[in-house]
Amino acid sequence: MITISNLTKSFGTFDAVKSVSLSVPKGAFLVLVGPSGCGKSTILRMLAGLEKPTGGTIAFNDKTVSDGERGWTIEPSQRDAGLVFQSYALWPHMTVSGNVEWPLKVARMPSAERKARVHEVLTLLDIETLGARYPSEISGGQQQRVAIARMIAPKPGILLFDEPLSNLDAKLRIEMRTELLRVHRATGATSVYVTHDQVEAMTMASHVAVLKDGRIEQFGAPGDLVAAPRTAFVATFVGTPPANLIVVEPAGDGRIAFAGEVLPAGFALDRPAQAMFRPENLGVSDRPGARTIALEFAEASPVAGRVMITGTRGDLRLTAVVNDAPKFAPGDSVHFAIPETPAALYAPGGELLA
């Protein structure tokens, strides 16, 4: 449904998006995720037709809608795509029904059909009783539902979401994630969703593109990204909590050196690398052991019936998820037990080694 080929966007000498390519099947829920400034919102704006690409092409259903080399793009209103902004962008002088009906008026839909469609989408979003109110008279969560109803009213084939939940409180964000997925299924549209929150990405997506510095670090199903991260950045960005990375060096005689410790290793290492250890594979203790390193206790929190313990030492930060743990106070030493073999090895630059 969506094909992006070598998409590039430059602002002066700064390349915000660098030769991005991916294909999204019809009915998919693609999430673009990454830190601030990685290019995800710029890609979404190019998909919406609000920005012209500097290079590369965008095609919807095999029809080219933007061509950076030729310097042209199809207008947003002609793309069969709807967009929800982070700020909702509702007309304050229009009622809820008026906001939802507006794009249908622009499309010259007959009045009776408009009224029926407005009632249909307001019911779908569970806000049918709010039709006569104005945006200032409803809550932020309700305003977001109105914005979504307005987007889907013309029945676009592609739904675009630009961090639509970032202004909501934590509980409402969780509820709205469920609502968005329900709307996605009900419409049958292909959705592209931008967020910096990897929890949103991993819980909502059928496909995830992890971006960094304008490039795609990895594209695939959420489970694949967690199980087999292809770069050190992906390893430390996805997952709840994400994986631990420790810089290691060969120390001779089958040993490795890291964090000021020299320990026996269950793997061969002939050069410096970054070793990935999953939080659930680390142990914690208040006493040193045969394969432990000591860090200063940072925090502890319950996670789904288990305990997440975090410790720090300089730039090193480790997190373990365990069934039970001693009670630690700020400043205490936490001894993290390290497995003999890491889950993966990455080069100092982040590339996967093994």
Query: Which tens digits make up the pLDDT trace of 37-47?
Result: 999 999 999 99
Residue 226: per-residue pLDDT? 92
Sheet holding 63-67, edge to edge: 14-24, 2-11, 55-60, 63-67, 72-73
Residue 348: per-residue pLDDT? 92
Residue 191: per-residue pLDDT? 95
For the chain, list residues with pLDDT below 50.
Answer: none
Chain-centroid distance, C-alpha 313: 29
- In the chain, count of helices (H) and strands (E)? 8, 21
Pairing of the two strands 333-337 and 292-303 = antiparallel
Residue 167: per-residue pLDDT? 80
Residue 175: per-residue pLDDT? 87
Residue closest to 335 by CA, chosen among 348, 347, 345, 326: 326
Sheet holding 283-285, edge to edge: 283-285, 333-337, 292-303, 306-313, 316-322
For 291, half-sphere exposure in the C-beta direction (CA atoms, 13 angstrom radius) is: 14
Query: Which tens digits make up the pLDDT trace of 304-351?
Result: 889 999 999 988 999 999 999 889 998 899 999 999 889 999 999 999
Q: What would you report as the CA-atom Rg of the chain, rounded to the nearest whole angstrom? A: 24
In what helix (H) or strand (E) does residue 295 lie, and over which residues does it extend?
strand 292-303
Residue 308: per-residue pLDDT? 95
Residue 261: per-residue pLDDT? 80
CA 222, 343, 248: angle at the middle one, nearest 5?
Answer: 125
**Going from the N-terminus, what domains does the chain have, and what CATH number goes with each?**
2-237 (3.40.50.300), 244-338 (2.40.50.140)
